[in-house]
Amino acid sequence: MKITDILATGPTYSFEFFPPKTPAAAEALTTALTELEPLAPSFASVTYGAGGGTREMTHDIVTGLHRDTSVTPMAHLTCVCHSRAELVDITSRYRDAGIENILALGGDPPKDLDLPPGELEHAIDLVRLVRDVGDFAIGVAAFPEPHPKSPSLAVDRARTAEKLAEADFAITQFFFDAEHYFDLVSSLHDLGVDKPVIPGIMPATAISSIKRMTELQGSDFPTWLSDKMHAVADDPEAVFKVGVEEATTLSRRLLDGGAPGLHFITLNRSRATQMIYENLGLTPAS
């Protein structure tokens, strides 16, 4: 089923997974999928290593979800380090396998590998390529804070509006202050774009990992959240619960403010997402 059709029926609740690189990680992914499928997600996305390092794993997980589960899958795809012909081939394989949803991303080239830059420069170019290959629902990324490479907030909002105007929906990077999301949506509206923007939710359940991930993403680890987590830093379970509670509060604010759904970045673990679902009173029927 196309995500555009799913969005038309009401709020969506979706999950994001990444391809495992070790047997232990593969087992964790299998466990997470098994434990989260009963929550009846609207769809699930699978990330894609820059340069195609996890190309086949992404393809196998996405097609496996389509073939073996009740979950609607979406494949992430990036421009970097790929020729146009490679991207046409990858997209055609998804089309022929019955996959109807693709998240078109610019991507960042891996720093530790000497790879060619790729023939497509921006995500909007990939959106157009995917449109030419098949009848897909196409998503793009949005940065609420904004993208760290943008020269200004205004420029970032303008670029996001341009690519979303040609895509069908957007999914944001994770963030912790609802105001960032509402400012993004308001700015896009002012630029004439009102397509669905689904907020990405990633609970801050461990201090070291959230600091690292916010730095990699170029976003803010707000002082108020850092202070709450450091206040119980000697108790990992208490830190975990703080992260879940704050993610629940954020999710409620977003839904109450009109967000078209929530996209949970699971990191191939199920517990935090399950707890937030319970806190929000979500059921498969809802």
219 in any annotated domain: yes
Report yes or no: 75 and 63 within 8 Å, Cβ to Cβ. no
Task: Tell whether 230 is covered by a domain.
Answer: yes
Tokens at 24, concatenated: 């232990």
Quote the CA–CA distance of 130 and 132 in Å, as a whole number. Answer: 5
- What residues contact 129, with CB distance under 8 A and at least 6 apart? 84, 87, 88, 91, 120
- pLDDT of 286 over the 60 cut: no
The pLDDT, as a whole number, for residue 115 is: 66
Place of tokens 């461990």: 206
Task: Give mean pLDDT, residues 62-72.
Answer: 94
Quick check: is 102 in a domain? yes
Asked whether the predicted pLDDT for residue 174 surpasses 90, the reply is yes
* Domain membership flag for residue 262: yes
- The pair of structure tokens assigned to 99 is 């996959």
Tokens standing for residue 256: 């109450």
Is 34's pLDDT higher than 60? Answer: yes
Give per-residue pLDDT as tens, 115-134: 677 899 899 999 999 999 99
Alpha helices in the chain (DSSP H): 3-7, 23-36, 55-68, 84-96, 123-133, 153-166, 178-190, 207-217, 223-230, 236-256, 271-280
Please pick, among 16, 100, 145, 246, the residue that the annotation labels catalytic: 16
DSSP 8-state assignment for residue 71: P
For 121, 206, 239, 240, the CA distances from 235, given in Å and listed in that order, are: 45, 10, 6, 9
Residue 213: give the domain boundaries. Answer: 3-280
Residue whose C-alpha is closest to residue 65's, from 14, 129, 23, 137: 14
Distance CA 65, CA 86 (A): 23
In a domain, 286, yes or no: no
Q: How far apart are alpha carbons 248 and 278 in whole angstroms?
A: 10
Q: Are 29 and 58 in contact (CB under 8 A)?
A: no
Instruction: Indicate the number of domains in the chain.
Output: 1
Greatest alpha-carbon pair distance for the chain in Å reads 54
Terminal-residue alpha carbon distance, the chain: 18
**CATH code for the domain in which residue 54 is found:** 3.20.20.220
> Would you say residue 273 has pLDDT above 90?
yes
Cβ contact 114:51 at 8 Å: no
> Is 105 contained in some domain?
yes
- Local structure of residue 72 (DSSP, 8 states): P
- pLDDT of 111: 67
Query: Does any domain span residue 285?
Result: no
* Tens digit of each residue's pLDDT (9 = 90 or more) over 191-244: 999 999 999 999 999 999 999 999 888 888 999 999 999 999 999 999 999 999
Our answer to whether residue 16 is catalytic in this structure is yes
Average pLDDT over residues 102-115: 78
Residue 183 lies in a domain: yes
